[in-house]
C-alpha cells in the first residue's frame, strides 16, 4: 500500500490523465476518487493544482473527441456500443437521448454530472453533426466544471483524505485489499443494476416477418421511432413517426388508439423501445409491440432507410411493406 501511495505522489498527473481517460471512454471505473486524492495532494503541495486541472480536462477532451468522431462516422449505431460498454442502464434509455435532443450541444456542460449521459451526449453531438467548434467549446466548459469540482473537493477535504490514506497505508497489504474490495463492490453494484434492468426488458418482440404479415393482411400499423428527433431526421424506417411523449400521453382522442403500434430504437436488447412500449400500454394503448432488432435489424435485413427528412408524417401515413 505504501508503494501505491508513493506511486500516486510521483506520477499523480499521469495517473489522473489515464484514469479520467478510461472513465470518459466508457470503462466503468469511478473517476472522482482519483480526483479527490489528487486534489488533497495538491493542497499538501505535492502536486500542482493548475496542472492537474489541465490534465483532467485534456483527458476528457481526448475521450470525448473520439466518441464525437465515432458518432459522426457511424451515426446512431455507435450508441449501441456505448450501451454495451456501460454498466449504467440509464445510458440505454430513450429519455437520455431526449435530453440532448432538447438542449443540443449545451447539454454537454452538465453531461458529466449525469450517470450514463456523458458518452451518449458526445456521440450524439457527432451523429447529429454539431459543429466541431461548438462541440469543443461546450465540452471544454463541462470538463472544466466536472474536473474542477472533483479537485476542489479533494483540496477542501484534504485532512480527511489524508487520514484515510494514512489509515490504508498503516494496514499494509490489507489496506490495498480493502481498496480493491471497494472497487469490486462498486463494479458489482453497477453490474447488478444492469442485470436487473435487463430483466425488466422481458417483453415479446415483433419480428420483421410478423410485421410483414400484418401489413400484407391490411392491418393498420403505425411504426414509431423512439430515438431522439435529431437521429430520426437523419435516418429512419420509411413512413415511421418520431415519438413525442406529449402526443402519446393518453389513448383518449388519439388517432392511433385502434391501430397496431410498432416501436423501434437502435440500442441493444431494444431497451428504449421496450420502455416506451410499456409506457404506452400503461397509457391505454393495447396493441403495442417493440420491433425485434430495431433499426439495426432492419438494416441488416437489407431494407432501405430514409437518409433525409421528408414531408411530416401523419397517422394515416402509408406504411412500407416488408418483403
Which residue among 199, 225, 241 closes a domain?
199
Whether residue 156 sits in one domain with residue 65: yes
Contact between residue 165 and residue 114 where contact means Cβ atoms under 8 Å apart:
no
The pLDDT, as a whole number, for residue 140 is 96
Whether residue 137 sits in one domain with residue 52: yes
Render the burial of 291-316: b for 16+ CB within 10 Å, e for the rest: bbbbbbbbbeeebeebeeeeeebeee
Better pLDDT: 296 or 98: 296
Q: How many domains does the chain have?
A: 2
Whether residue 100 sits in one domain with residue 240: no
Whether residue 35 sits in one domain with residue 169: yes
- Please tell me which of 130-144, 184-198, 270-284 the model is most confident about, judged by mean pLDDT: 130-144
The pLDDT, as a whole number, for residue 18 is 93
Whether residue 258 sits in one domain with residue 109: no
The pLDDT, as a whole number, for residue 224 is 93
Is 307 inside any structural domain?
no
Whether residue 229 sits in one domain with residue 188: no
Whether residue 181 sits in one domain with residue 127: yes
Is 318 inside any structural domain?
no
Question: What are the cell numbers at 244?
Answer: 413525442
Whether residue 241 sits in one domain with residue 185: no
Q: What is the pLDDT of residues 2-49, one digit of tens each?
A: 555 666 667 788 989 999 999 888 777 778 888 988 999 899 888 899
The pLDDT, as a whole number, for residue 7 is 65
Which residue among 150, 174, 199 closes a domain?
199
The pLDDT, as a whole number, for residue 141 is 96
Is 174 inside any structural domain?
yes
Q: What is the pLDDT of residues 61-97, one digit of tens each?
A: 999 999 999 988 887 677 767 766 664 554 454 556 6
Is 313 inside any structural domain?
no
Whether residue 165 sits in one domain with residue 23: yes
Element (H, E) at 224: strand 221-225
Whether residue 166 sits in one domain with residue 57: yes
Contact between residue 243 and residue 98 where contact means Cβ atoms under 8 Å apart:
no
> What are the backbone angles phi and psi of residue 293, rounded to the nearest 5°?
85, -20
Whether residue 24 sits in one domain with residue 109: yes
CA distance 134 to 96: 20
Query: Residue 272's domain spans which residues?
Result: 208-300
The model's confidence at residue 323, banded by pLDDT at 50, 70 and 90, is very low
CATH code for the domain of 223: 3.40.250.10
pTM of the model: 0.64
Is 292 inside any structural domain?
yes
CA-based nearest residue to 208, from 127, 83, 292, 278: 292
Whether residue 28 sits in one domain with residue 107: yes
The pLDDT, as a whole number, for residue 313 is 45
Amino acid at each position: 500500500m505504501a508503494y501505491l501511495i508513493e506511486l500516486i505522489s510521483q506520477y499523480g498527473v499521469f495517473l489522473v490523465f489515464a484514469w479520467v481517460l478510461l472513465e470518459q471512454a466508457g470503462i466503468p471505473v469511478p473517476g472522482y476518487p482519483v480526483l479527490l486524492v489528487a486534489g488533497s495532494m495538491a493542497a499538501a503541495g505535492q502536486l500542482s493544482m493548475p496542472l492537474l486541472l489541465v490534465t483532467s480536462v485534456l483527458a476528457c477532451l481526448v475521450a470525448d473527441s473520439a466518441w464525437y468522431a465515432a458518432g459522426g462516422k457511424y451515426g446512431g449505431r455507435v450508441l449501441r456500443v456505448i450501451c454495451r460498454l456501460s454498466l449504467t442502464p440509464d445510458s440505454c434509455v430513450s429519455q437520455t437521448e431526449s435530453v440532448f435532443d432538447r438542449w443540443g450541444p449545451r447539454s454537454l456542460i452538465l453531461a458529466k454530472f449525469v450517470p450514463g449521459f456523458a458518452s451518449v451526449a458526445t456521440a450524439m453531438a457527432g451523429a447529429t453533426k454539431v459543429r466541431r467548434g461548438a462541440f469543443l467549446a461546450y465540452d471544454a466548459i463541462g470538463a472544466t466544471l466536472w474536473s474542477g469540482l472533483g479537485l476542489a473537493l479533494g483540496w477542501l477535504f484534504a485532512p480527511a483524505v489524508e487520514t484515510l490514506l494514512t489509515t490504508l497505508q498503516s494496514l499494509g497489504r490489507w489496506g490495498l485489499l480493502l481498496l480493491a474490495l471497494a472497487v469490486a463492490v462498486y463494479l458489482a453494484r453497477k453490474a447488478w443494476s444492469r442485470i436487473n434492468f435487463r430483466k425488466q426488458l422481458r417483453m415479446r418482440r415483433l419480428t420483421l416477418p410478423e410485421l410483414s404479415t400484418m401489413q400484407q393482411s391490411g392491418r393498420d400499423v403505425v411504426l414509431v421511432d423512439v430515438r431522439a428527433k435529431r437521429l430520426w431526421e437523419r435516418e429512419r424506417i420509411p413512413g415511421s413517426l418520431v415519438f413525442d411523449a406529449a402526443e402519446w400521453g393518453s389513448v383518449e382522442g388519439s388517432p392511433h388508439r385502434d391501430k397496431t403500434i410498432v416501436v423501434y430504437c437502435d440500442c441493444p436488447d431494444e431497451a428504449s423501445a421496450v420502455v416506451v412500449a410499456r409506457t404506452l400500454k400503461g397509457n391505454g394503448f393495447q396493441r403495442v409491440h417493440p420491433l425485434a432488432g430495431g433499426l439495426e435489424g432492419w438494416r441488416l435485413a437489407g431494407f432501405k432507410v430514409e437518409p433525409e427528412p421528408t414531408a411530416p408524417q401523419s397517422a394515416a401515413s402509408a406504411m412500407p411493406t416488408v418483403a
